[in-house]
Chain A
């Protein structure tokens, strides 16, 4: 097993545990739900086989679901972003294409690029997750407010998490 595989296994465990043990217990307001665990999906190498990304997304979401007693809710949202990630990466690709053997990061692609890339995935994830969790659109404006505010907080903590991991 290569060094980078072990790093990603560690990142997976850290993402799941920090989400379920720390961030799920932080409470400021019912509008703020911080989801940092998708950092794992954001940082997977750009050339990772898309089927592997899809499988990992499902496992990641299901792990969060098992801790939260919400079978399927997180998994359905992470699988969606796993499916759309290749298209989003293509959308934001630099003109000369991505350099080989790189993973999405501030260091490799710049802060602007990373924010654009992360916020797209965070928004898709949060929109899907909150509406599925609410069983539909009956609390539309409340849910939209929750999505927008939570996305901003998730982005901030994902960038902080990303910088902490890069230091290691």
Chain B
């Protein structure tokens, strides 16, 4: 007993250090998983409020680029609308998707574990597992919400995995991020017999209840065929510029519960 006490006194500093390090690693491994607790994260009220105040100060410096991107987005949407104008669509089937616009409060792009915080939360009808898109394409998925803020897991986070397809031939693949470059992601699971070209457009598959079908994701930058598995390994240039993102849209899917119930059936087919 006396020896033990002596030992503790002698190495108290190191023991305290080891205990705190263990605590840190418990935090890292329990909290950085996909569904994180909400007590320390950026949708936390105090830190999000500070970031938001600061953002409102420096927002003026970004106004020009925000305006430019909104104007471009309007142009694209108007052109899309024009395509549909000449058709008289009888009874439009309700798609069930609704968009909520939100402003980015804080975001990171040059880490491995990148996250984005937006200024809308539970009070505005946002829930975890909702998709998020930007003016040019897909951004990520909501992972946690507080009353006024939400945290988004962007495509540029190693935990992100999104079901996508090639626009021209509807072959499905899986989009992940390998940490090397911001604004580039990795597309796998496209079989080797499919014809793939540089510049091919990648869009969301609509398989998950999170994103509607056909949201732009990016274009193919380069590809190699893995000889042993006979699948392509494809690098995709993302359309979303994560460095200059100011506003995003959260996708609310009112048919989501029905769609989720359908999944087991379709898997049996």
Chain A residues within CB distance 8 Å of chain B? 17, 20-21, 24-25, 27, 29-30, 32-33, 50-51, 54, 58, 61-62, 65-73, 75-76, 79-80, 82-83, 132-135, 139, 142
Among A24, A32, A61, A62, chain B packs the most CB atoms within 10 A around the CB of A24
Q: Looking across the interface, which residue of chain B has its beta carbon closest to that of A84?
A: B17
A24 to B114, CA, bound (A): 11
Decide if B110 touches A32 in the complex (CB within 8 Å). yes
Decide if A71 touches B17 in the complex (CB within 8 Å). no
Stretch of B24-32, B128-136, B186-194, B250-258 lying at the A interface:
B24-32
Decide if A69 touches B28 in the complex (CB within 8 Å). no
The answer to whether A71 and B40 touch (CB under 8 A), given A132-B28, A134-B112, is yes
Which one, B28, B112, B113, B179, contacts A76 given CB within 8 A? B28
A54 to B23, CA, bound (A): 13
Tell me the minimal C-beta distance from B24 to chain A in angstroms: 4
Q: Which residues of B contact A79 (CB under 8 A)?
A: 17, 20-21, 24
Decide if A75 touches B110 in the complex (CB within 8 Å). no
Decide if A51 touches B51 in the complex (CB within 8 Å). no
Decide if B179 touches A66 in the complex (CB within 8 Å). no
Decide if B24 touches A27 in the complex (CB within 8 Å). no
- Among B6-53, those with CB < 8 Å from A are 13-14, 16-17, 20-21, 23-28, 31-32, 36, 40-44, 47, 50-51
Q: Which residues of A contact B106 (CB under 8 A)?
A: 20, 24-25, 67
A65 to B32, CA, bound (A): 11
Q: Looking across the interface, which residue of chain A has its beta carbon closest to that of B26?
A: A72
Q: Looking across the interface, which residue of chain B has its beta carbon closest to that of A62?
A: B40
A-B contact pairs, 29 of them (CB 8 A): A24-B106, A29-B110, A30-B180, A33-B110, A51-B16, A62-B40, A66-B40, A66-B41, A66-B44, A67-B42, A68-B108, A68-B115, A69-B36, A69-B40, A71-B28, A71-B31, A72-B23, A72-B28, A72-B31, A73-B24, A75-B24, A76-B28, A79-B17, A79-B20, A79-B24, A80-B21, A83-B14, A133-B112, A135-B112
Q: Looking across the interface, which residue of chain B has its beta carbon closest to that of A32?
A: B110
Tell me the minimal C-beta distance from B20 to chain A in angstroms: 5
A99 to B202, CA, bound (A): 65
Interface of A is mostly: helix
Is residue B246 within 8 Å, beta carbon to beta carbon, of the partner chain?
Answer: no
Q: 1/0 contact trace for B41-81 toward A, CB 8 Å?
A: 11110010011001000000000000000000000000000
Tell me the minimal C-beta distance from A151 to chain B in angstroms: 15
Q: Looking across the interface, which residue of chain A has its beta carbon closest to that of B183?
A: A30
Is residue B243 within 8 Å, beta carbon to beta carbon, of the partner chain?
Answer: yes
Decide if B51 touches A73 in the complex (CB within 8 Å). no
A17 to B49, CA, bound (A): 13
Q: Which residues of B contact A133 (CB under 8 A)?
A: 111-113
A61 to B111, CA, bound (A): 16
Decide if B31 touches A142 in the complex (CB within 8 Å). no
A17 to B50, CA, bound (A): 9
Tell me the minimal C-beta distance from A88 to chain B in angstroms: 14
Among A24, A50, A70, chain B packs the most CB atoms within 10 A around the CB of A70
Q: Looking across the interface, which residue of chain B has its beta carbon closest to that of A70?
A: B113
A24 to B24, CA, bound (A): 21
- Among B66-121, those with CB < 8 Å from A are 106, 108-113, 115, 117
The answer to whether A30 and B32 touch (CB under 8 A), given A72-B25, A79-B24, A142-B179, is no
The answer to whether A73 and B20 touch (CB under 8 A), given A27-B109, A67-B51, A139-B179, is no
